[in-house]
């Protein structure tokens, strides 16, 4: 397995022999093996042996508090959501075995799109098999040859991959920097098509974008705007529509991208829009056309969950309390956090380096707490982070228990 590491790099292969296509991963393999050789448990290979609720699971035989899922609104075990999924499984079977444009559109897919249109108050909704595919498909399809995509440098991988799949010019700007975005847009040749891509919440540090100002700048330059609200849907904004709703600029957003894999509590992705020609996307967007549609049970759970999220204001209020309590408590213990104030349900704890980050992750797991370890290239500025994401189903007492776990683990590893 580790042959590639011990061998010298062989840029010149012998005659008749190709270069090992895996040699490009040697540094990563060596780094991973170095970390695991110290006896460190693999932070990227944890198995949930049984899931007890949105906030607890059995991991390594132990009852563990989950603080590293995206189950913000705790919908995965909602009674109505589960009942809808079971019924659809009975009525429609386990899968569609086809693309949305052929045999893969069932009444459940249409019902799910209706729920999304109502949720956002928009005229069109298109459901994809994942949020990744929604970004991949919409971005690569609407911005083509001769067009420009102006995007935040900290954008999610699915946004970058959407740019890479299309033929538009890609122009990144410094994270959340309105002036830099303005300058980039100002340099685009007259008459070219322009798409600005932003996120409501940036998932690594849990910070939000100044969407109102940024969208005003984009519109000044005649650009269309796409906002990925993956980490804000269900939670942020009066009706849970996201950061654009919260900042009063949702009407100026041309395309909202979202996912069912976070607050909605299942899997799938979507785009909603008021663009009058939006429906043509169903015929030209390859990651929509050339893949199988979501199973009926999944769209049934998604539609039920989305409709319940419309009435989730009490849960939203409790989730904010949790986020504030955790942020305050960790700051008080001396941890360095990704944001000065809590801005979302994500609280990122900055680790000094990967080794101590991994050690802290393991110490927390032994305490009975699961968080996400994030490291470059997923993180900005080469940071190692322990990302905590709260759930509306965490109780205030659980948050206090979590703080006690952080204190003991942080002291044991020498971080606080
Ligand atoms: C900002 C953002 N967009 C899109 C996605 C992709 O969503 P999905 O899990 O549905 O593929 C994610 C997932 O982590 C995300 O964080």
Q: Which residues pair with 238 in a beta bridge?
A: none
**Helix, strand, coil percentages, rounded to 5, for the chain:** 45, 20, 40
Write out the H or E segment, with its range, that includes residue 349: strand 346-351
DSSP state of 133: H
CA of 300 to the centre of ligand 1 (A): 20
User: Is omega for the bond preceding 377 within 30 degrees of 0, making it cis?
Assistant: yes
Tokens of 62: 């132990």
Cα atoms in the 13 Å half-sphere on the side-chain side of 226: 30
Instruction: Catalogue all structural domains in the chain, each as residue range(s) with its CATH number.
Output: 37-66+313-413 (3.90.1150.10), 80-309 (3.40.640.10)
Within the chain, what is the greatest distance between any pair of CA atoms?
A: 69
Quote the strand ranges of 88-244, DSSP E: 124-128, 148-152, 169-173, 194-199, 201-202, 207-208, 224-228
CA of 196 to the centre of ligand 1 (A): 18
Distance CA 236, CA 229 (A): 9
CA of 158 to the centre of ligand 1 (A): 7
Smallest CA separation from ligand 1 atom 3, residue: 230
Q: Over its length of 416 residues, how does the chain's per-residue pLDDT go in tens digits?
A: 333 334 445 455 677 788 999 999 999 999 889 888 888 888 888 999 999 999 999 999 999 999 999 999 999 999 999 999 999 999 999 999 999 999 999 999 999 999 999 999 999 999 999 999 999 999 999 999 999 999 999 999 999 999 999 999 999 999 999 999 999 999 999 999 999 999 999 999 999 999 999 999 999 999 999 999 999 999 999 999 999 999 999 999 999 999 999 999 999 999 999 999 999 999 999 999 999 999 999 999 999 999 999 999 999 999 999 999 999 999 999 999 999 999 999 999 999 999 999 999 999 999 999 999 999 888 998 999 999 999 999 999 999 999 999 999 999 999 99
Smallest CA separation from ligand 1 atom 7, residue: 131
Residue with structure tokens 């052929």?
102
Q: Which of 72, 160, 204, 259 to mutate to test the pocket of ligand 1 (most atoms within 8 A of CB)?
A: 259
Whether 400 and 67 have beta carbons less than 8 Å apart is answered as: no
Q: Where does ligand 1 bind, in terms of residues with CB under 6 Å?
A: 130-132, 135, 156, 158, 199, 203, 228, 230-231, 259, 261, 269
pTM (whole model) above 0.85: yes
């Amino acid at each position: 397995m580790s042959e590639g590491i011990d061998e010298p790099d062989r840029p010149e292969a012998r005659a008749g022999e190709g270069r090992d296509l895996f040699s490009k991963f040697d540094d990563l393999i060596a780094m991973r093996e170095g970390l695991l050789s110290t006896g460190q448990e693999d932070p990227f290979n944890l198995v949930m042996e049984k899931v007890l609720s949105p906030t607890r699971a059995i991991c390594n035989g132990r009852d563990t508090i989950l603080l590293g899922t995206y189950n913000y609104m705790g919908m995965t075990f909602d009674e109505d959501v589960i009942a809808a999924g079971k019924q659809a499984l009975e009525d429609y079977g386990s899968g569609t075995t086809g693309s949305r444009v052929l045999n893969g559109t069932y009444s459940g897919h249409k019902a799910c799109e209706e729920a999304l249109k109502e949720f956002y108050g928009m005229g069109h909704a298109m459901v994809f098999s994942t949020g990744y595919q929604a970004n991949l498909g919409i971005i690569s399809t609407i911005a083509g040859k001769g067009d420009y995509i102006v995007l935040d440098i900290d954008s999610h991988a699915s946004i970058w991959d959407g740019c890479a799949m299309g033929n538009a010019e890609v122009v990144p700007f410094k994270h959340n920097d309105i002036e830099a975005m303005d300058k980039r847009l100002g340099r685009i040749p007259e008459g070219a098509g322009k798409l600005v891509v932003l996120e409501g919440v940036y998932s690594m540090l849990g910070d939000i974008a100044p969407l109102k100002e940024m969208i005003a700048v984009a519109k000044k330059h005649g650009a269309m705007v796409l906002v990925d609200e993956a980490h804000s849907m269900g939670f942020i904004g009066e009706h849970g529509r996201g950061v654009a709703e919260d900042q009063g600029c949702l009407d100026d957003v041309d395309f909202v991208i979202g996912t069912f894999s976070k607050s909605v509590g299942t899997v799938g992705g979507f785009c909603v829009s008021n663009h009058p020609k939006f429906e043509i996307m169903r015929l030209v967007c390859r990651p929509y056309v050339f893949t199988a549609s979501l199973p009926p049970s999944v769209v049934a759970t998604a539609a039920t969950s989305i409709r319940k999220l419309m009435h989730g204001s009490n849960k939203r209020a409790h989730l904010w309390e949790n986020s504030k309590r955790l942020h305050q408590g960790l700051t008080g213990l001396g941890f360095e956090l990704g944001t000065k104030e809590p801005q979302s349900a994500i609280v990122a704890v900055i680790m000094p380096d990967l080794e101590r980050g991994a050690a802290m992750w393991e110490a927390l797991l032994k305490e009975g707490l699961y968080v996400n370890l994030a490291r470059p290239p997923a993180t900005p500025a080469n940071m190692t982070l322990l990302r905590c994401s709260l759930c509306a189903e965490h109780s205030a007492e659980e948050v206090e228990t979590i703080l006690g776990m952080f204190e003991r683990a942080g002291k044991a590893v020498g971080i606080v």
